Amino acid sequence: MSDVQSKYLVDQRGYFGKFGGAYIPEMLYPNVEELKSQYLEIMNSHAFRTDFVKLLKDYVGRPTPLYHASRLSEVVGAKVYLKREDLCHTGAHKVNNTIGQILMAQALGKKRIIAETGAGQHGVATATVCALMGLECTVYMGEIDMARQKPNVERMKILGAEVRPATSGSKTLKDATNEAMRHWINNPKDTHYIIGSVVGPHPYPDMVARFQSVISEEIKWQLEEKEGKEDPDYVFACVGGGSNAAGAFYHYVDKENVKLVAIEASGLGNDSGKSAATTALGKEGVLHGSRSLLMQTEDGQVVEPYSISAGLDYPGIGPFHAHLFDSGRAMFVGATDEEAMNAGVELSKLEGIIPAVESAHALAALHKVDFKPTDIVVVNLSGRGDKDLETYIKWGKY
């Protein structure tokens, strides 16, 4: 968490440059307004900070290591560090946010939690913190995703959550998000919506980025310890909605000497009609309450994206990233299914770490940049590959 002021971060009106805002129907206004009027004060309170830091340490297992991957470095031709978010409890960075938001929900006096999930990682992280706090948890998940990600559905149920299928529209992540928003409209008083990425109406993109900013906060002092300086030359992170990237970039946004590289899923290629690379294929638009970049038809209907990785399979990106793209502050690179899977297998063989397929996209991009041998590159390894075993098996090339 942090008090960074920057032209790249949110402004008084809830915008990142021209992106963001709160494009919500009046039925959601009181819920969002309640959060907006209190989130900063709550986050900055001593009680909240103490609980947040304590849980991140004792429950999540932070700080996560910053690991110098020497064999990978040799192959890449630069000094590569991996920020090991894969070692977080529940296996990905998602839990940093859900810990923050469950404390927020408690501070707001909420009794019930709802969430959306695509691959199930955010759903599991939400079900986990609800179990921890003894709060009732309902997770919306697209009917198609429920079939694709059965083990995570069962994990959520074991943790005591109710998983409700989203059967509208295309029956995937964006529809699960719609259903969660509708649930919130119908239950405005006692329910908090734990959104899973830096998307949604203001203040969500800002709040989630602040919770995830612990990632770059740690990178700074860890790199200082190892290299005698806080700043790497590059930070790499994959972008679905953009929460792990937001966390990894956060404390570096104003340090123009640090190059920020955001990796999107190009699926079968950006020309194939099967991609999730929003900055390459999207246009300005409004979805789930914020103005950002969005994959859509000429008529303004939201397009169903495709990626081998369910966590990157979202038709938009958060407004923070839209602004980083638009302003040229971050470089956006695509990685295809094939490039990502190869990079995932490569890391497994070289370092003994099987990464989440999402994170493998970030690793794939290491092969797309011309580094100097002295360059220091931090890759945010957002999650571990346990959940993706079936995807690796189906891929087969290892």
Ligand X SMILES: Cc1ncc(COP(=O)(O)O)c(C=O)c1O
Active-site positions read 94, 116, 382
Does 197 help bind ligand X (rule: CB under 6 A)?
Answer: yes
How far is 360 from 263, CA to CA, in rounded Å? 10
Cα atoms in the Cβ-side hemisphere of radius 13 Å centred on 29: 3
Q: Give the residue among 291, 232, 240, 293 at the shortest CA–CA distance from 263.
A: 240
The reply to whether 313 sits near ligand X by the rule CB under 6 A is no
Q: Which of residues 363-382 bind ligand X (CB under 6 A)?
A: 382
Instruction: Report yes or no: 18 and 10 within 8 Å, Cβ to Cβ.
Output: no
Using the rule CB under 6 A, which residue among 207, 322, 356, 376 binds ligand X? 356
Give the one entry of ligand X, another protein, none that residue 259 binds, where binding means its C-beta sits below a cut-off of 5 to 8 angstroms depending on kind.
none
CA neighbor of 174 nearest in space, from 285, 289, 283, 315: 315
The C-alpha atoms of residue 278 and residue 301 are separated, in whole angstroms, by: 14
- Using CB under 6 A, pick the residue from 21, 63, 123, 241 that binds ligand X: 241
- Binds 300, which of another protein, ligand X, none (CB < 5 to 8 A, cut-off by type)? another protein
Hey, which residues between 16 and 45 contact ligand X (CB under 6 A)? Answer: none
Distance of CA 94 to the CA centre of its chain: 7
- Under the binding rule (CB under 6 A), the answer on residue 95 touching ligand X is no
- The Cα-based distances of 116 to 32, 323, 334, 367 in angstroms read 17, 24, 25, 33
The reply on whether position 121 binds ligand X by CB under 6 A is yes
Instruction: Collect all residues with Cβ–Cβ distance below 8 Å to 283 and sequence separation of at least 6.
Output: 293, 294, 296
**Which single residue is written with the structure tokens 């008083």?**
189
Nearest C-alpha neighbor of 237 from the set 225, 246, 227: 246
**194 scored as a contact of ligand X (CB under 6 A):** no
Q: Is 315 in the site for ligand X (CB under 6 A)?
A: no
SS3 224: helix
Among 285, 359, 366, 395, binds ligand X (CB under 6 A): 359
CB of 391 to another protein, least distance (A): 27
Q: Is 119 in the site for ligand X (CB under 6 A)?
A: yes
**How far is 157 from 161, CA to CA, in rounded Å?**
5
3-state secondary structure (DSSP) of residue 336: strand
Query: Where along the sequence are the contacts to another protein (CB under 8 A)?
Result: 13, 21-30, 168-170, 174-175, 178, 181-182, 185-188, 283-289, 294, 296, 298-302
The stretch near ligand X (CB under 6 A) out of 25-33, 152-160, 233-241, 272-280 is 233-241
174 versus 361: smaller Cβ distance to another protein: 174
Q: Does the bond joining 63 to the residue before it have cis omega, within 30 degrees of 0?
A: yes
Q: Does 354 bind ligand X (CB under 6 A)?
A: no
Q: Cα(241)–Cα(316) distance, rounded to whole angstroms? A: 7
243 near ligand X, judged by CB under 6 A: yes
Q: For 285, which DSSP code? A: E
Which is closer to ligand X, CB of 123 or CB of 375? 123
Least Å from the CB of residue 301 to another protein: 4
Residue 213 binds which of ligand X, another protein, none (CB < 5-8 A, kind-dependent):
none
240 binds ligand X (CB under 6 A): yes
Give the footprint of ligand X on this chain (CB under 6 A): 92, 94, 118-119, 121-122, 197, 238-245, 311-312, 356, 358-359, 382-383
